[in-house]
Amino acid sequence: MTKLKIGSYVVDITNQDKIYFPTTITKGDLIDYYIKVAPFMIKHIKDRPIMMHRFPGGITGESFYQKNAAEHFPAWIKTIPVPKSDGHTNFVLCQNAATLIYLANFGTITFHPWLSRFKALDNPDKLIFDLDPSVHDFSKVIEVAFLIKKILEQVGLNPFVMTTGSHGLHVVAPIKPTADFTYSKMFADGCAQLLIAGHPELVTTQLRKDKRENKIFIDTLRNQFGATAVAPYSVRAHPHAPVATPLEWHELENPKLESQTYTIINIFNRLEKIDDPWKDIFKKKKSLEKAWPKLEQILTELKT
């Protein structure tokens, strides 16, 4: 065991030589990655309840999602109780690098934050479209991302894009936390409806994979209370340890780009040359209530 001082806290690091990824990437490598990426990542997850995707034995072993903070977590790790029907769930708030590293040592490979912050849990500050291909054709995912970008810009929002580090892309628009999740889900569904009407051969909201007909699935379900989405710069549980990576829109024009292009091995070459494209994302927040009439007008014109 190694004692690691991170900021004002000491974190015990264990089993650093354990192989976590079949490409011989170790738990120690994963922790080193999160230490280095923390300055970029923390601002994207701070103040948000976190769901942990844990792989205590590495990605080839047992895995599970954990919402509740463990009783043995140190007192300096902040938590927030979220009510549920039979009590409450005590979610972790990842407020600093020490918490991030502690959770990584706890076996957390992937971090899934809420779309809202703990001071206004009912009010998201992000609208998200998760684009998931039914078959491996990333060019179609990119095509759909640009179509969503166009719709969001038409209604006055500022769209951002990132690879998920798995198979698809996330298109995200920062929004003022004044509307609730019911409103944001309705808005996301309206955008999806508009997209399907114009491109029925390309996109679908069909939940069942066997009925998607090789189309790109637009997942709007993440725009609901308690739902989560993978954090920017989080590692994903695939053999080469890919990373969910924020992009500039023009980068989607690179024919070599895939969702797993960036990994814990090559991401820092990128970050040395290109600053975080999402660095100022929350300076670009817009009102969903002001955008809705514009979307409604487009939907109405579609029906006439």
Q: Any idea what the CATH number is for the domain that residue 220 is in?
A: 3.30.70.3300
Do residues 177 and 137 share a domain?
yes
Same domain, 289 and 186: yes
Residues contacting residue 106 through CB under 8 Å, at least 6 positions apart: 52, 54, 70
In terms of residue numbers, what domain contains 190?
126-226+283-303
* Average pLDDT of span 98-111: 98
Task: Mark residue 165 as left, alpha or beta (left: phi above 0; alpha: psi -120 to 50; beta: remaining).
Answer: left
Confidence band of 136 (pLDDT split at 50, 70, 90): confident
Q: Which of 87, 113, 139 is the last residue in one of the domains?
A: 113
Report the domain count for the chain: 2
Shared domain for 289 and 177, answered yes or no, is yes
- pTM value? 0.96
CATH of the domain at 59: 3.90.920.10
Distance CA 220, CA 132 (A): 11
With beta carbons less than 8 A apart as the criterion, state whether 96 and 79 touch: no
85/12 same-domain check? yes
Which of 54, 84, 113 is the last residue before a domain boundary?
A: 113
Task: Work out the angle at residue 160's Cα, subtended by the Cα atoms of residues 255 and 254, and round it to the nearest 5 degrees.
Answer: 10
The last residue of one of the domains, among 55, 89, 113, is 113
Q: What is the structure's pLDDT at 160?
A: 98
DSSP string across 196-243: HHH-TTTEE--SSGGGSTTPEEEE-TTSSTT-B-PPTT-B-SSTT-BB
**From the DSSP assignment, how many helices (H) and strands (E) are in the chain?**
6, 15
pLDDT at 209: 87
103 is a domain residue = yes
293 shares its domain with 168: yes
* Residue 240: inside a domain: no
The predicted-structure confidence for 237-258, as pLDDT tens digits, reads as follows 999 999 999 999 999 999 999 9
Condensed to tens digits (0 to 9), the pLDDT of residues 178-215 reads 999 999 999 999 999 999 999 999 999 999 888 898 99
Q: Are 288 and 179 in contact (CB under 8 A)?
A: yes
Amino acid of residue 39 = P
Provide the pLDDT for residue 303.
76
Pairing of strands 19-21, 2-6: unpaired
